[in-house]
Structure 1
Amino acid sequence: MDIKEIQNLIKFVAKSGASEVKLEMEDVKITIRTGSGKTETTIVQAAPMAGVPQVAATVAAQPVASTEAAAPQAETENSKYITVKSPIIGTFYRKPSPDKPNFVEVGSEISIGDTVCVIEAMKLFNEIESEISGKIVKILVDDSSPVEFDQPLFLVDPS
């Protein structure tokens, strides 16, 4: 497998929306994980190939290094906020129906038990209620987007 094929595979996985892809061949093992805008690529060479291991290692190291540098800064900014996470897999909706207003906006005050969004799973619309009180600081998911279990949906300032 050459570098062009690896790069095309990474692009394909990123566009497909898959969260993880593992590819194992005789001499190459590749794992590509995507999520929240980041792409992490791990390439392990079992058998030496002329020229490919050095280039493949360079391709893998660039995304990992950039995400490690950005992570501590983002973590300190968001550490004072509480994250509301998705309790189920489904499609995230900010409003109860297309003709109704959004449940919450940035700056909205919420209380325990307030509905913050709806997640559709298997044609059932599940109202997601807040388990905390505070102010919505950031909405982390676009309307009508698929969400995973335990994916962050909102940042809430509890003060």
Structure 2
Amino acid sequence: MDFKEVKELIETINASDIAFFEIVNENCHIKMDKSLNREIASTAISEEKPVVVNTTKTTISEPSANITSERKVEKVIEKEVEDDNLVVINSPMVGTYYGGLSPDSPSFVKDGDNINVGDTLCIIEAMKLMNEIESEVNGIIRKILVKDGDMVEYGQPLFKIKEA
């Protein structure tokens, strides 16, 4: 495969709904995975660095469309500010999410519960092993983002916690 063919292949896969793609032949091995949620923790930055933000403003000629766009932007900004005050607990592995020990038992936590460091939040089953996921912070559960029995990916957000 030459560069042009590889570029066309990447563009085709990116434009599709395919989450994972792999091709192997005698000349090359290409693997694309769009399914992983790659987040970078802001706490990993040891020093503050200047941030350059490029902004553009699009003007719409219809006044009613402009008002609608401004309302949507305001809602998004409010949601981002609200989410900035929360700690997100992400899945450390791929597996099946369970909120309790069994379907009949109560969940380890529910919205509004106070939690401490080390409290069990859920279980993730991976390769027939039950892995307890423990809290890394003290706080209050604000939102459980997955349902019992859901498949979860590595790095997928599971809980939003307001740190105490």
Which range, TM-score by smaller chain?
0.5 to 0.7
Q: 1:137 aligns with which of 134, 142, 155?
A: 142
Q: 1:74 aligns with which of 71, 79, 84?
A: 79
Give the deviation of 1:98 after TM superposition. 1.5
Distance 1:73-1:21 versus aligned 2 partners, 3 A rule: farther
Do the aligned partners of 2:95 and 2:152 also contact (CA within 8 Å) in 1?
yes
Give SS of 1:74's match.
helix
Between structure 1 and structure 2, the one with the greater Rg is 2
| 1:41-120 matches, cutoff 5 A | 72-120=77-125
Distance 1:73 1:126 in 2: 35
Distance 2:139 2:101 in 1: 21
Distance 1:103 1:152 in 2: 17
| CA RMSD in angstroms, aligned pairs only | 3.0
* Counterpart in the other structure of 2:153: 148
Give the deviation of 1:73 after TM superposition. 4.5
Distance 2:126 2:36 in 1: 20
Q: For structure 2, which runs of at least 5 residues remain unmatched after alignment?
A: 1-11, 23-31, 38-71
Compute the TM-score of the two structures, normalised by the length of structure 2: 0.56
Asked if 1:122 is matched to 2:150, the reply is: no
Question: Match of 2:97, as an amino acid?
Answer: F
Structure having the higher strand fraction is: 1
Distance 1:34 1:91 in 2: 16
Distance 1:22-1:75 versus aligned 2 partners, 3 A rule: farther
Q: Which has the higher contact order (CA 8 A, sep 6+)?
A: 2
Distance 1:121-1:21 versus aligned 2 partners, 3 A rule: closer
Distance 2:112 2:124 in 1: 21
* Counterpart in the other structure of 1:43: none
Give the deviation of 1:158 after TM superposition. 0.7
Using the TM superposition, name which of 68-77 and 138-147 deviates more: 68-77
Question: Match of 2:156, as an amino acid?
Answer: Q
Q: For structure 1, which runs of at least 5 residues remain unmatched after alignment?
A: 1-5, 24-30, 37-67
Give the deviation of 1:93 after TM superposition. 0.7
Identity between Structure 1 and Structure 2 (%)? 41
